[in-house]
Amino acid sequence: MRTFVAIDVNAEIREVAQEVMEKLQNAGFKANWTKPENLHLTLFFMGEMDERHVDKMADVLNKRLLGFPSFSTVLAGVGYFKFKHAPRVIFLKLEPTKSLQKMYLEMKSELTKNKFKYDDQGNFVPHVTLARVKEYPSNWEAIVSEIVVPKITLVIDGFTIYSSTLTPQGPIYKWVYKSKFEGGLEKNVR
């Protein structure tokens, strides 16, 4: 199964994401838009993994983060990744707090130690993808930079491992494991 490790976002962030996507659509952006139920903060894209490896990964990450203190981050604006002069991905930025960075590095260390392969993007940029851009207006950078988002707090007290099934209508994400820092690893047996 195609697998990734993520942090779930709250209803307030989903609401803001919808508003930002509507603004971008009204401004002339054409894109593959993220469905509200699929919004998340990706930590690691793992690619194809068999179920046994997913079980082991969930177990080692859960043990590594057991007792990690809950923390929060804040919505920090709208950002983008671009290629040459064109926007490729537009996203909601999250504040890269020390706790978030520390959690990411703890998980990365555990994945590396256990020889799990993942897509290493280099610098960790905490974000929630809104759109993979196909067409855009000529003044796209100005449009994106003028979008203001409220400072919404996201409390982080665990992580989720998802499977991703690609379909012509877009990806379908299903949670496989949910882990809480204070203890508890729940497996989805659907």
- In sequence order, the 6+-apart residues with CB closer than 8 A to the CB of 140 are 29, 87
Instruction: Determine whether 53 is an active site residue.
Output: no
Cα gap 47→164, rounded to integer Å = 9
Active-site residue among 7, 13, 34, 40? 40
Cα gap 117→114, rounded to integer Å = 9
| Half-sphere exposure at residue 129, Cβ-oriented, CA atoms within 13 angstroms | 16
Instruction: Determine whether 85 is an active site residue.
Output: no
Amino acid at 159: F
Distance of CA 7 to the CA centre of its chain: 6
Active-site residue among 29, 34, 54, 127? 127
Task: Kindly calculate the radius of gyration of the chain based on its CA atoms and give it in whole angstroms.
Answer: 17
Q: Which of 152, 131, 134 is nearest to 39 (CA)?
A: 131
Residues annotated as catalytic are 40, 127
